[in-house]
Structure 1
Amino acid sequence: MRPLAVVILAAGKGTRMKSALAKVLHEVCGKPLIYYPVRLARQLKATRIVAIVGHQAEAVRAAVRAEFPAASIDFALQRTQEGTGHAVLQAKSALRGFDGDVLILSGDVPLLRLETARAIVAQHRRTKSDLTSMTTRLDDPTGYGRCLTDEAGRLVRVVEQKDADEEQQKIQVVNAGFYVANAKTLWATLARIGKNNAQGEMYLTDAIEIAGHLGKKVLPFRLAEPWQILGVNSRADLAEAARILRRALNAGWMKSGVTMIDPETTYLDWDVRVGPDTVIEPGAVLLGRTKIGAGCRIGQGARLTDVTAGAGAVLGPYVVLQGMRVEAGEVID
């Protein structure tokens, strides 16, 4: 099997966040956004992982290392923001000598499922494609690049929103921002990307048209669940991503035997652990590395941060605890 490298785009400032903090450092369910694509890359058992950093590069590096202290992750610096194509080019040095497939992920997209990532890589290899680009259909495609295909279903071109004419803007099939490419094809196409567009940037999407002109096989991977490609570009996007991920987390805990009286108002961070037969009342917030044993009861509006509670503990309504150990069977009102 061909080796797999993963390149993660995490250099952007995120001006629409209106924040002094780099966009990929904003948290969703207790983890910085950059955590999710790095975790995905490791789950895929990528032989090489390269994160492209730029704005607040040292802070982003530190966050990744804090989350994955034992992982082998390279960082490539994009000193100037010249577009997504330029960003991926910064990984070329770190991937010198690599002859396999390169999966490109976005550092601000936390919801892509492992099964989806595996599927696009599998399709790319099965079809012997040189470049595979993920697409999806949106009722409102505003802001996304529109995908143009030929009669054979091959991807011909992606036209970004600011460069699309009136007819192209009516297209509902959009570029999802995830790609798999043979390394040689990737570098050959990126070397030919220019800046002749409304943004004056090197668009990664231009690699699709260039690859076609080079006689390469370019195919779409069609994603049926567009929520997976939700990119965080604003505080509203951040809240929506957290809502979707939190719903999935809560569903998983309920499946494992935890009762949530109202899962829509129950907030658990990613690293929280809860034992079976525990009951969590509405409005409870469990943060950090909180660990709740089996058969506990967490009262309405309780806020627990890095708390460890033994089996059968009862934490009453609206208690606020931090860094505390609650013994098995103990009651705190």
Structure 2
Amino acid sequence: MIISIILAAGEGTRMKSKLPKVLHQVCGKPMLSHVIEASKGAGIKENIVIVGHGKEKVKDTIKEEGVVFVEQPIGEKVPYGTGFAVMQAEDLIKDDNYVIILYGDTPLITSKTITDLIDYHRENSNNATVLTAEFDNPTGYGRIIRDDKGNIIGIVEEKDATIEQKRIREINSGIYCFDGKYLKMALHNLNSNNAQNEYYITDSIKILNEKGLKVGGYKLNDNTEIFGVNSRVQLAEADRIMRRRINEKLMLSGVTILDPDNTYIGKDVQIGRDTIVYPGVFLEGNTKIGEDCIIGSNSRIINSNIGSRVVVQSSTIIDSEVGENTTIGPYAYLRPNSKIGKSVKIGDFVEVKNSVIGDNSKASHLAYIGDADVGRNVNIGCGVVFVNYDGVNKHRTIVEDNAFIGSNSNLVAPVIVREKGYVAAGSTITEEVGKGTLSIARARQVNKEGWIERKFNKNKE
């Protein structure tokens, strides 16, 4: 069985944040979640996450299945180091396991690379395998030392490297695959005899070599996968790299993204063919967008399902559903639990909340529709307000099929407008409007002739 040990106990002081480093988001998801997903995508069902600083926040945030949290002690006398963190999971490592060591602050690692590392480890009968990379400028990284057979016989840190060794461009990523039996052997032989008084997992490679065991190295194709995040600047860079990956994948699948550098799409978002996404768009969470849609600039869609042939212009949609052939916006706001039917028009400055709007209905501008069930072929005029709150409780309004709600009307919930009911403009409706009934709820107009002349003559006296 393959297990992963993901190190996520660091404080991340350079982030300058109250939030644990591994919970900072890249493309809308915590960095740690990306690493767990990559591990699970490689077929690893048991993922052991080592937590320390901010452990409660990490546990409260990360809810993926197949994750086991192990707490690392914190205190002045604790030695720390990557080796010490891995030691915390020793009781969960079986001799016949393959163990992958990953890091919660390297969110760009992919399932394919983890799979390839495991396959290479197996195929070459290694006892440990180091994931390596080659840099034109490897300054700051530990250098990989190989023998004439290609086996890794050492990892030399920059400060300890000779001039010749510093010319080596292959570096240690810090990601490893171990046989469980030999990882435990190495952990038992680690020591903290160094300037930092810490245990380093890197030393395990030297230990295994001294025991005559086989250590191999699998070289990365894409160096960005081992990019670690230690600051907000690096967080932004990781986000940029992942956003490019996401956008390229979508474009290759048939989505038009007019300006990929200025379009922000989450990892879990799905978009159908021939949809066009304009610059400045944010698509987040578990959003699904159909085919042949147009998502206009400055739109934001979160955890929502958008049907095919929908046009969204400069609008916000949150936790909602939009049927096919519907137009939204500009400047519309669909708040959570809005269910918009097919061929509906939700126009400029219309807000919808916790409401159902049936097929072919329209609210073209300047309306608030809250806690409502609106039928088919309903017209909601300009300035209409669904008055859903009595100061204590929310109430629902029902507007049945083919009804007409005139401009500047108020529907005071709970209230029903029956099929083909017609509400005259400017009415405040507090009682049921019957089927096919015209309801007028406003004072009769009174014209006072000569009023202006009398008013101004009086002021002159």
Normalising by the residue count of structure 2, what TM-score does the alignment of the two structures yield? 0.67
- The 5-angstrom pairing of residues 195-274 of structure 1 reads 195-274=192-271
What amino acid does structure 2 have at the position aligned with 1:278?
Answer: T
Q: Does 1:85 align with 2:79?
A: no
Q: Deviations over 1:61-101 (max 9, x none)?
A: 22221xx2xx2321111113610011111111123x45221
- The 5-angstrom pairing of residues 94-243 of structure 1 reads 94-95=92-93, 97-164=94-161, 168-243=165-240
Cα offset for 1:58? 1.7
- Higher fraction of helix: 1
What amino acid does structure 2 have at the position aligned with 1:301?
Answer: N
Query: Which deviates further from its counterpart, 164-173 or 174-183?
Result: 164-173
| Inter-partner Cα distance in structure 1 for 2:277 and 2:45 | 41
Distance 1:29 1:215, change over 3 A: same
Query: Which deviates further from its counterpart, 72-81 or 262-271?
Result: 72-81
* Aligned residue in 2 for 1:326: 322
What amino acid does structure 1 have at the position aligned with 2:316?
Answer: V
| Inter-partner Cα distance in structure 2 for 1:191 and 1:55 | 25
| Inter-partner Cα distance in structure 2 for 1:128 and 1:33 | 32
CA contact (8 A) 1:78 1:90 kept: yes
CA contact (8 A) 1:157 1:206 kept: no
* Matching residue within 13, 16, 24 for 1:15: 13
| Inter-partner Cα distance in structure 2 for 1:163 and 1:180 | 25
SS for the counterpart of 1:227 is helix
| Inter-partner Cα distance in structure 2 for 1:54 and 1:164 | 32
Distance 1:72 1:98, change over 3 A: farther
Cα offset for 1:176? 0.7
Question: Whose RCO is larger (CA < 8 A, sep 6+)?
Answer: 1
SS for the counterpart of 1:139 is coil
Cα offset for 1:157? 1.8
* Aligned residue in 2 for 1:303: 300
The share of aligned pairs that are identical, in percent, is 40
| Inter-partner Cα distance in structure 1 for 2:7 and 2:235 | 17
Larger Rg, first or second structure (1 or 2): 2
The CA RMSD measured in Å over matched residues stands at 1.9
Q: Deviations over 1:202-235 (max 9, x none)?
A: 1110101111111111111122321111111122
SS for the counterpart of 1:51 is strand
CA contact (8 A) 2:143 2:158 kept: yes
CA contact (8 A) 2:45 2:66 kept: no
CA contact (8 A) 2:143 2:172 kept: yes
What amino acid does structure 1 have at the position aligned with 2:38?
Answer: L
What amino acid does structure 2 have at the position aligned with 1:4?
Answer: I
What amino acid does structure 2 have at the position aligned with 1:238?
Answer: L
Distance 1:298 1:21, change over 3 A: same
Distance 1:326 1:100, change over 3 A: closer
Cα offset for 1:51? 1.0
Q: Deviations over 1:176-219 (max 9, x none)?
A: 11111111110111111112223221111010111111111111
| Inter-partner Cα distance in structure 1 for 2:161 and 2:201 | 16
* Matching residue within 46, 65, 72 for 2:66: 72
Normalising by the residue count of structure 1, what TM-score does the alignment of the two structures yield? 0.91
| Inter-partner Cα distance in structure 1 for 2:286 and 2:255 | 17
SS for the counterpart of 2:92 is coil
Q: Deviations over 1:228-273 (max 9, x none)?
A: 1111112222112111111111122122221111122111112222
| Inter-partner Cα distance in structure 1 for 2:211 and 2:14 | 37
SS for the counterpart of 2:189 is coil
CA contact (8 A) 2:130 2:176 kept: yes
Query: Which deviates further from its counterpart, 32-41 or 179-188?
Result: 32-41
* Aligned residue in 2 for 1:26: 24
Cα offset for 1:166? 5.4
SS for the counterpart of 1:21 is coil
Query: Which deviates further from its counterpart, 211-220 or 135-144?
Result: 135-144
Aligned residues: 325
CA contact (8 A) 2:40 2:111 kept: no
CA contact (8 A) 2:6 2:49 kept: yes
Cα offset for 1:302? 1.9
Which stretches in structure 1 are left out of the alignment for 5+ residues? Answer: none
Cα offset for 1:129? 0.9
* Aligned residue in 1 for 2:358: none
